[in-house]
Amino acid sequence: MKILFIVIDGLGDRPISELGEKTPLEAAKTPNLDRLAKNGICGQISPFQFPWQKYPVSDTAHLALFGYNPKIHYLGRGPYEAAGIGMELKKGDVILRVNFGTVNRKLKVIDRRAGRIEKTELFVKALNGIKIEGVTFLVKKSFGHRAVLILRGKNLSEKITDCDPKKTGKIMKKAVPSTSAKGKELSKAKFTADILNRFLEKAHFILKNHPLNKKRIKEKKLPANYFLVRGAGKFKKTTSFYQKYKLNACCIVGGALYKGIGKILGMKLIKVKGATGFPTTNLKGKFQAAKKALKKPAPYRNAVSGAGYDFVFLHIKAADTLGEDGNFQGKKEFIEKIDKNLKILMDLKNVLIVITGDHSTCSKLKSHCSEPVPILIYGNRKDKVREFGERACKKGKLGTIEGLNVMPKILALMKS
């Protein structure tokens, strides 16, 4: 038996009065999801989160779903984003997420996305390759206003604080060693923070004087005059999914973060035209690719079977984005769109279909939240649940599963 693991990002929610006190999932018309729930077993997941986090976040929640304890395996957000946009990573690299943002003369943040700027290639070119005290600063565009920054050199530490204040109206912060930096690591962290601050100062000078920004100001557009950096992490190799489970795995994803997680775990990326993290993503193409991947010969010489991948990770992003925008109606309609396209997979045989989310995104809060996430597993055993929704799945046979215990549960069902 093979595994198709579908993660609908931000799937869970809270009941909404405008939807008749139902969640977007409960209010949506989902005959295919309900059919799978009715003929499978259901429950809910308590997503992983670190004690200091207000709510679960996508990177650590996904690692936990795949059975990788973030307390041991988490690299920081930066490395996953970098891997996801195709940057070559080397052991010891310190990597950060970046927004091109807008600040005033006092370095107060005016806009964290510089008016959601799209064309940043000339800025990237101007900043890429700068060297400070033997450390090279490598910059690559991600999408829109986002980019990734790599610090490559000796004696670097990821144990530094974010410079991005994460709110408009706040003054840009200086990087300093984090409280977890001790002993020799503290010395490395001080060095890393110092050269990063110097790079950001130099980058600000280059950006604010760049001809493209001067042109944007004349056109009454916000200049992209500052690098907002956060999520420092240091790259190191992670035990691959195949090494851990002896399963040939691939991933079908749109967003850079999820591509990066798959790549670092050794999953083969299956590209699908039009697959993005937006509501307009090519759902039909993604589902068709998943079906094909389960039959396509796997690439490993030591593959257990030549009859296709054993594990397909299919990620769908937009429910999370719509929830964060407060668009509960849009989230409901997007879930219905997922359900409609799910029909492509309904005739799969000898495949365990798992459908869940990495975390809940509460539309009224416009943010991630700590509510449990529904899960259904179709292909082995049944319970009395008749529809796929938060409250219905809560009564399922699976009960409440901790995020880290999902893979062991799936593997047990696959082998039974």
Alpha carbon 170 to chain centroid distance? 26
Retrieve residue 376's tokens: 């259904």
pTM of the predicted structure, to 2 decimals = 0.89
**Phi/psi of residue 146, each to 5°?**
-95, 150
Helical H runs in 253-388? 256-264, 283-293, 318-324, 328-341
Alpha carbon 60 to chain centroid distance? 9
Return the domain boundaries, the chain: 2-74+238-415, 82-234
**Phi/psi of residue 156, each to 5°?**
-100, 150
Dihedral of alpha carbons 261, 322, 405, 308, sign: negative
Predicted pLDDT of residue 45: 98
Q: Is there a contact between 75 and 92 (Cβ–Cβ < 8 Å)? A: no
Predicted pLDDT of residue 301: 40
* Residue 308: CA count within 13 A, CB half-sphere: 17
The CATH class given to the 2-74+238-415 domain equals alpha beta
Q: Is there a contact between 44 and 389 (Cβ–Cβ < 8 Å)? A: no
Cα–Cα distance between 116 and 99 in angstroms, integer?
A: 10
Predicted pLDDT of residue 297: 59
Helical H runs in 342-405? 390-394
Predicted pLDDT of residue 203: 98
pLDDT in 10s for each residue of the chain, 416 residues: 999 999 999 999 999 999 999 999 999 999 999 999 999 999 999 999 999 899 999 999 999 999 999 999 999 999 999 999 999 999 999 999 999 999 999 999 999 999 989 999 999 999 999 999 999 999 999 888 999 999 999 999 999 999 999 999 999 999 999 999 999 999 999 999 999 999 999 999 999 999 999 999 999 999 999 999 999 999 999 999 999 999 999 999 998 899 999 999 999 999 999 999 889 999 999 999 999 999 865 555 444 444 579 999 999 999 999 999 999 999 999 999 999 999 999 999 999 999 999 999 999 999 999 999 999 999 999 999 999 999 999 999 999 999 999 999 999 998 87
